[in-house]
Structure 1
Amino acid sequence: MSECTFTPSMCHIDLPALQRNFARLGKSAALMPVIKSDAYGHGLLPVARSLADVGARRFAVGTVSEGAALREAGLTQEIVPLLGGVNAEDWHRAAAHSLVPLLADREDLEKADFCCRPDKTLRVALKCETGMARLGFTAEDIPAVLEFLRARPHLAPALVLSHLACADRPLDLAYTHAQTERFTAVCDSLRVAFPDMERSLANSAGLLGLPETRFEVSRPGIALYGGNPFAGTALENCGASLEWVMSVSAPVLCVQRVKAGQSVSYGRIFTTPADMTIAVIAAGYATGLDRRLSNSMDVLIGGRRVPQVGRICMGLLMADVSSLPETRRGDEAWLIGGPVAHGQRAVTAREMADELDTISYEILCRMGAMNPRTYG
């Protein structure tokens, strides 16, 4: 049976750019690249292999299933599933594949204890709650955690971690400092019993701009893929050298002249103010574009930006190419990234996210999940 594809659009993943971003973030021994959710839509295995090639020693994934996939692909790095075990099968798979599952409450401790053999040590990571009100042990929980672990030497706490709530917001620096202080206090208590336990707090923002959050291990996520967590803030220069890793292209299906006064696409939300040349491009909300971007985004054709017009459809969108009379069927339109002409700039996931009042993570995950990927 031949492969079935539902779109001719394509995600282009620049693995050398990924490796350069990784190198910019510091020494590999101090980094745990976050490749959860299929590496933010960039592809779990290609991203992991590419980072392994330039010295990555550990990975943070989302699920035990992702960690098992890395093991089955031959990757030997330390792997921490950040969701821990969701069910009994997860806990046994984590032990079988020598993952380092995250433990965040008493039930996690008991399940980790149950799934591993007393004659085989299971390395685990402890999640602490310092200000996210999400997952993790509180400071008040630590004495009971220590009592539990001291009685079970086959559970070896290798890592203690927490998550910063607003490190990318310089105006909330006091909250980040408070989280760091709470984390330090919890770690000090744990490391009395387990002095070799490493600490991990910094995310991309912490790693780039807040040295006091780095400890032994930092967990860069969006920065690996080119997103600057400080974009638009006073610390923007901290991530200015990062390169976007994902670009998205789609072919022009036809080019047509449309007379003044003609509405374009569904709902008649755009009417041509003059005679226009319209390119129809094979991408839409089924390929990851948010329909709310209708009449509010640009695409790149021939290296130049042109406005999208009319309602974005399931698999089509239209663009005004009146300024590009050379546009032809079969030309490549770039929804994100792509080669730019002098004086032009590509559309970025950040630009789309700002228009939608969301974050670039969401744009990348969606586009990467809904389009075929090619790697270079």
Structure 2
Amino acid sequence: MSTGDENVLAAFGAADNRIDIDLGAIAHNWLYLDSLSPKSTITAAMVKANGYGLGANHVGAALYKAGCRQFFVANLDEAVSFRTYLDNISISDAQIMVLHGCHRGQEHDMRAYRLTPVLNDLEQVSRWRLYAQNANETYPAMLHLDTGMTRLGFDPDQTDWLIENKQALNGLEITYIMSHLISGEISDDPANTAQKTRFDEYRSFFGGIKASLANSGGVFLGNEFHYQMTRPGIAIYGVHPCGKDQAITDSNGLKSCITWHGRIIQVRTAPEGATVGYGGTHRLSRPSRIATVGVGYADGYQRNLSNKAFVNILGHRAPVIGRISMDSITIDVTDIPPNIMLKAETAALLSDLYSIEDMANDASTIPYEILTGISRRAIRRYI
């Protein structure tokens, strides 16, 4: 076993696959994104979906140490968990915004855990305002005005009504108005300019309130999209929203923050003509050596990678053959020298030789889904 492979395997414990998460790289990425905006612009961080699958608590603490104070999560459950963790490590001044807003029965916890709901319609405004009035207090909130996503936020009719009836916000401290770009990762998409124009029109009716429009893609569109707060997500985790080619061009910018390894649980020989895996979708064209790795679709290694993906074994690239099983994948290691395979204990599923962008492309999906889909069965190690 090589020293490098021995070090990788040592932290597996009882598990058969593990992801290593470089918190220093994540902090670097946030600082890099922050450097792209004027000093007057705050750079927040998306830590929803358990920090894009990498652990919101560890990621959030690392980002706080780097200087981040504003965090976004999707729902109340995520917010309570994150706030509880921060309180337990004596971090009390972080602001946590809840993108899904405040729903019926959530008002008490929203206030008790010092959360800021992003209000998406008039019903949420009314609910949060009434709760504030009953407490004879002023509560913080953000307003999400839809400018083209048609997913969350005030629709045009409700926005028009709110512009004419701004007294409906009495009792609330509206910290920001925000919207969300639908094609921020495509720099020349006319939708970006159209949304910005609509957003600026809405902003003109809410004078003095800070604004936020840019997601990860929007950060790279230029300062005119940054306003007083940017809200990067996937870029913090080392994935350039504009694609791998752009990431190579901006080589001094974002850093990859994860590697994923699986334990090699068996190496066997098989004759020419043998089929591999369920359905026999791969037939061997030569006498071969097959390595079985203890990771499968139950771990988040997507079935669409069958007969498409590659792994890295001690610097040697090898193809995944046959269908992905629930708990295992099969690798053709025939072309890897036998002396190398004698030393090999693990296969790198994500590495410099096969990136998350490569895996997403082979799975016909996006890096977001790869990251957030890695299951809890893959142990996490923070470095």
TM-score (norm 1): 0.89
Equivalent residue letter for 2:307:
N
Separation in 2 of the partners of 1:314 and 1:138?
A: 43
Q: Does residue 321 in structure 1 map to residue 329 in structure 2?
A: no
Quick one: distance in 2 between partners of 1:291 and 1:108? Answer: 40
Is 1:64 aligned to 2:81, yes or no?
no
Counterpart Cα distance in 1 of 2:196 and 2:99: 20
Q: Tell me, which stretches of 5 or more residues in structure 2 are unaligned?
A: 1-12
SS in 1 for 2:105: helix
Do the aligned partners of 1:13 and 1:245 also contact (CA within 8 Å) in 2? yes
For the 8 Å contact 1:121–1:156, the answer to whether it is kept is: yes
Name which of 101, 112, 133 aligns with 1:84: 101
Residue 287 (structure 1) aligned with residue 261 (structure 2): no
For residue 240 of structure 1, report the CA deviation from its aligned partner: 6.4
Query: What CA distance in whole angstroms lies between the structure 2 residues aligned with 1:209 and 1:64?
Result: 31
> Secondary structure of 2:311's partner?
strand
Q: How far is the alpha carbon of 1:356 from its aligned partner? A: 2.4
- Where does 1:299-318 land on structure 2 (aligned, <5 Å)? 299-318=311-330
CA deviation after TM superposition for structure 1 residue 92, in Å? 2.1
Aligned to 1:120: 137
Q: Name the count of aligned residue pairs.
A: 359
> What's the CA shift for 1:357?
2.2
1:170–1:234 CA contact under 8 A, matched in 2: no
Distance 1:57 1:98, change over 3 A: same
Moved more, 346-355 or 33-42: 346-355
Q: 1:189 aligns with which of 196, 205, 208?
A: 205
Asked if the contact 2:289/2:333 (under 8 Å) is kept, the reply is: yes
> Offset at 1:239?
7.1
Opposite residue 288 of structure 1, the aligned amino acid is: G
Aligned CA distance change for structure 1 residues 152 and 232 (closer, same or farther; 3 Å) = closer
* Residue equivalent to 1:341: none
Q: Distance in 2 between matches of 1:239 and 1:99?
A: 37
**Alpha carbons of structure 1 residues 152 and 105: separation in structure 2 relative to 1, 3 Å:** closer
Q: Give the Cα separation in 2 of the matches to 1:289 and 1:360.
A: 12
Q: Distance in 1 between matches of 2:97 and 2:293?
A: 41
Judge conservation of contact 1:208–1:239 (CA < 8 Å) in 2. Answer: no
Taking a change above 3 Å as real, the CA distance of residues 30 and 157 of structure 1, as seen in their structure-2 partners, is same
Is 1:11 matched with 2:19? yes
Q: How many angstroms does 1:248 deviate by?
A: 1.1
Conserved in 2, the CA contact under 8 Å of 1:142 and 1:190? no
Taking the aligned partners of 2:278 and 2:143, their CA distance within structure 1 comes to 52
Q: 1:356 to 1:142 in 2, by over 3 A?
A: same
Q: Secondary structure at the match of 2:16?
A: coil
* Paired letter, 2:147: T
Query: Are the aligned partners of 2:100 and 2:120 in contact in 1 as well (CA < 8 Å)?
Result: no
SS at match of 2:291: strand
Secondary structure of 1:100's match?
strand
Q: What is the identity, as a one-letter code, of the residue corresponding to 1:49?
A: A
Give the 3 Å change call, closer, same or farther, for CA 105–225 of structure 1 in structure 2.
Answer: same
Q: Is the 8 A contact 1:61 1:82 kept in 2?
A: yes
Q: Establish whether residue 226 from structure 1 lines up as the match of residue 233 from structure 2.
A: no
1:364 is paired with a residue whose SS is helix
Return the structure number with greater relative CO, CA threshold 8 A, min gap 6: 2
Alpha carbons of structure 1 residues 26 and 252: separation in structure 2 relative to 1, 3 Å: same
Cα distance per residue 1:195-231 (max 9 Å; x no partner): 1x22110011110233321111000001000111111
Between the aligned partners of 2:271 and 2:277, the Cα distance in structure 1 is: 14
Runs (5+) with no aligned partner, structure 1: 338-344
Letter in 2 for 1:365: T
1:211 and 2:223 correspond = yes
Task: List, as ranges, runs of 4+ consecutive aligned residues in structure 1 with deviation greater than 6 Å.
Answer: 233-236
RMSD: 2.2
Summarize deviations over 1:94-144 as a string: whole Å, max 9, x none.
Answer: 122221101111100111123334422210000001011112224543454
Q: Please tell me whether residue 332 in structure 1 is matched to residue 352 in structure 2.
A: no
Q: Report percent identity of matched pairs.
A: 29
CA–CA distance in structure 1, aligned partners of residues 302 and 252 of structure 2: 27
TM-score (norm 2): 0.88
Distance 1:98 1:148, change over 3 A: farther
